[in-house]
Amino acid sequence: MKEWVRGHLRLAVAGALVLEWAVLVAGGLALGRTPIDAIINAVIGTVISGMILAFELRRRGRTKVRLDANGQVMVYMRYPDSLPGSLSGIWNMGIARPEGRSIEFQPAVYDTLEPSGRPTEINVIQVLPERRHISSKERKYVGGVGIQVMSLITEKGKVDIAGSSESLAKLVDALEGAS
Protein backbone atom coordinates (compact mmCIF):
# COMPACT_ATOMS: atom_id res chain seq x y z
CA MET A 1 0.00 0.00 0.00
CA LYS A 2 2.80 2.42 0.91
CA GLU A 3 4.55 1.75 -2.38
CA TRP A 4 1.34 2.37 -4.33
CA VAL A 5 0.77 5.67 -2.52
CA ARG A 6 4.35 6.77 -3.23
CA GLY A 7 3.93 5.85 -6.89
CA HIS A 8 0.52 7.52 -7.24
CA LEU A 9 0.80 10.40 -4.77
CA ARG A 10 -1.58 12.79 -6.53
CA LEU A 11 -4.23 10.11 -6.94
CA ALA A 12 -3.88 9.13 -3.27
CA VAL A 13 -4.21 12.77 -2.15
CA ALA A 14 -7.29 13.22 -4.36
CA GLY A 15 -8.83 10.06 -2.88
CA ALA A 16 -8.13 11.26 0.64
CA LEU A 17 -9.74 14.62 -0.12
CA VAL A 18 -12.86 12.93 -1.55
CA LEU A 19 -13.04 10.75 1.56
CA GLU A 20 -12.65 13.85 3.77
CA TRP A 21 -15.46 15.58 1.86
CA ALA A 22 -17.77 12.57 2.31
CA VAL A 23 -17.03 12.35 6.04
CA LEU A 24 -17.62 16.08 6.49
CA VAL A 25 -20.96 15.89 4.63
CA ALA A 26 -22.04 12.87 6.70
CA GLY A 27 -20.95 14.61 9.90
CA GLY A 28 -22.84 17.76 8.98
CA LEU A 29 -25.99 15.79 8.23
CA ALA A 30 -25.61 13.83 11.48
CA LEU A 31 -25.42 17.12 13.38
CA GLY A 32 -28.76 18.17 11.89
CA ARG A 33 -27.57 20.65 9.27
CA THR A 34 -29.48 21.04 6.03
CA PRO A 35 -28.00 19.10 3.09
CA ILE A 36 -26.91 22.26 1.26
CA ASP A 37 -25.27 23.63 4.42
CA ALA A 38 -23.45 20.33 5.04
CA ILE A 39 -22.23 20.23 1.42
CA ILE A 40 -21.02 23.85 1.45
CA ASN A 41 -19.17 23.38 4.77
CA ALA A 42 -17.60 20.16 3.46
CA VAL A 43 -16.48 21.87 0.24
CA ILE A 44 -14.90 24.75 2.17
CA GLY A 45 -13.11 22.38 4.58
CA THR A 46 -11.89 20.15 1.75
CA VAL A 47 -10.64 23.09 -0.34
CA ILE A 48 -8.68 24.41 2.64
CA SER A 49 -7.17 20.96 3.29
CA GLY A 50 -6.33 20.60 -0.41
CA MET A 51 -4.56 23.96 -0.47
CA ILE A 52 -2.50 23.07 2.61
CA LEU A 53 -1.53 19.72 1.07
CA ALA A 54 -0.69 21.32 -2.28
CA PHE A 55 1.63 23.88 -0.69
CA GLU A 56 3.32 21.20 1.45
CA LEU A 57 3.85 18.84 -1.49
CA ARG A 58 5.21 21.67 -3.63
CA ARG A 59 7.62 22.73 -0.87
CA ARG A 60 8.85 19.17 -0.39
CA GLY A 61 9.34 18.75 -4.13
CA ARG A 62 11.38 21.94 -4.39
CA THR A 63 13.53 20.93 -1.41
CA LYS A 64 14.15 17.48 -2.89
CA VAL A 65 15.18 18.97 -6.26
CA ARG A 66 17.54 21.43 -4.54
CA LEU A 67 19.16 18.70 -2.43
CA ASP A 68 19.45 16.27 -5.36
CA ALA A 69 21.11 18.96 -7.49
CA ASN A 70 23.82 19.36 -4.83
CA GLY A 71 24.27 15.64 -4.08
CA GLN A 72 22.77 16.08 -0.62
CA VAL A 73 20.09 14.32 1.44
CA MET A 74 18.06 15.35 4.48
CA VAL A 75 18.78 13.12 7.48
CA TYR A 76 18.85 13.06 11.27
CA MET A 77 22.08 12.20 13.11
CA ARG A 78 22.99 11.28 16.67
CA TYR A 79 25.72 9.58 18.69
CA PRO A 80 23.92 6.71 20.49
CA ASP A 81 26.82 5.90 22.82
CA SER A 82 27.11 9.44 24.23
CA LEU A 83 26.65 10.11 27.93
CA PRO A 84 23.06 10.16 29.22
CA GLY A 85 21.58 13.66 28.98
CA SER A 86 24.17 14.78 26.44
CA LEU A 87 22.94 16.84 23.49
CA SER A 88 24.93 14.50 21.24
CA GLY A 89 22.43 11.76 22.08
CA ILE A 90 19.42 13.54 20.56
CA TRP A 91 18.55 13.53 16.88
CA ASN A 92 19.83 16.56 14.96
CA MET A 93 18.18 17.37 11.64
CA GLY A 94 20.49 18.38 8.84
CA ILE A 95 21.85 17.98 5.37
CA ALA A 96 24.33 15.20 4.62
CA ARG A 97 26.69 15.22 1.65
CA PRO A 98 28.84 12.13 1.08
CA GLU A 99 32.40 12.81 -0.07
CA GLY A 100 34.46 9.68 -0.57
CA ARG A 101 34.45 7.68 2.68
CA SER A 102 33.19 10.62 4.72
CA ILE A 103 29.95 12.51 5.21
CA GLU A 104 29.73 16.25 5.72
CA PHE A 105 26.77 16.87 8.05
CA GLN A 106 25.42 20.43 8.22
CA PRO A 107 22.87 20.89 11.02
CA ALA A 108 19.76 22.62 9.73
CA VAL A 109 16.53 23.92 11.18
CA TYR A 110 12.98 24.37 10.00
CA ASP A 111 11.45 22.74 6.95
CA THR A 112 13.50 25.06 4.73
CA LEU A 113 16.69 23.36 6.02
CA GLU A 114 18.28 26.67 7.00
CA PRO A 115 21.89 25.96 8.11
CA SER A 116 22.45 26.14 11.86
CA GLY A 117 25.89 25.76 13.36
CA ARG A 118 29.08 24.47 11.85
CA PRO A 119 29.31 21.39 9.64
CA THR A 120 30.73 18.15 11.02
CA GLU A 121 32.98 15.84 9.03
CA ILE A 122 32.23 12.16 9.74
CA ASN A 123 34.92 9.74 8.55
CA VAL A 124 33.20 6.41 7.97
CA ILE A 125 35.08 3.19 8.66
CA GLN A 126 32.17 0.79 8.20
CA VAL A 127 28.50 0.95 7.26
CA LEU A 128 26.59 -1.60 9.34
CA PRO A 129 24.22 -3.52 7.04
CA GLU A 130 21.12 -3.74 9.22
CA ARG A 131 18.41 -1.07 9.16
CA ARG A 132 15.46 -0.69 11.47
CA HIS A 133 12.42 1.51 11.73
CA ILE A 134 12.72 4.24 14.31
CA SER A 135 10.96 3.35 17.56
CA SER A 136 8.33 5.53 19.20
CA LYS A 137 10.72 6.27 22.09
CA GLU A 138 13.32 7.63 19.64
CA ARG A 139 10.88 9.71 17.56
CA LYS A 140 10.94 12.80 19.78
CA TYR A 141 12.94 15.00 17.37
CA VAL A 142 12.35 13.10 14.14
CA GLY A 143 9.57 14.04 11.74
CA GLY A 144 8.20 12.11 8.82
CA VAL A 145 6.72 8.73 8.07
CA GLY A 146 8.61 5.52 7.34
CA ILE A 147 11.88 6.78 8.81
CA GLN A 148 14.62 4.15 9.08
CA VAL A 149 17.85 4.13 11.08
CA MET A 150 21.25 2.80 10.04
CA SER A 151 24.47 2.80 12.03
CA LEU A 152 27.96 3.78 10.96
CA ILE A 153 31.26 2.98 12.62
CA THR A 154 33.41 6.11 12.50
CA GLU A 155 36.74 7.29 13.89
CA LYS A 156 34.84 8.77 16.85
CA GLY A 157 32.60 5.78 17.55
CA LYS A 158 29.14 4.74 16.49
CA VAL A 159 26.86 7.22 14.69
CA ASP A 160 23.18 6.65 13.92
CA ILE A 161 21.74 8.20 10.77
CA ALA A 162 17.95 8.30 10.30
CA GLY A 163 16.10 9.23 7.14
CA SER A 164 13.87 7.96 4.40
CA SER A 165 14.89 4.67 2.81
CA GLU A 166 15.79 6.59 -0.38
CA SER A 167 18.07 8.99 1.52
CA LEU A 168 19.85 6.17 3.33
CA ALA A 169 20.26 4.24 0.07
CA LYS A 170 21.91 7.28 -1.57
CA LEU A 171 24.34 7.60 1.35
CA VAL A 172 25.21 3.90 1.31
CA ASP A 173 25.70 3.88 -2.47
CA ALA A 174 28.02 6.89 -2.29
CA LEU A 175 30.02 5.50 0.64
CA GLU A 176 30.37 2.01 -0.81
CA GLY A 177 31.18 3.41 -4.24
CA ALA A 178 34.17 5.22 -2.71
CA SER A 179 35.64 1.98 -1.30
What pLDDT digit, counting tens, does each position of 84-119 carry? 777 778 888 899 999 888 999 999 877 777 788 888
CA distance 4 to 128: 29
Q: How many CB atoms lie within 10 A of CB 152?
A: 21
Domain covering 71-177 in this structure, CATH number = 2.30.29.30
Residues of the chain with pLDDT under 50: none
CA distance 158 to 140: 20
The domain locations on the chain are 2-68, 71-177
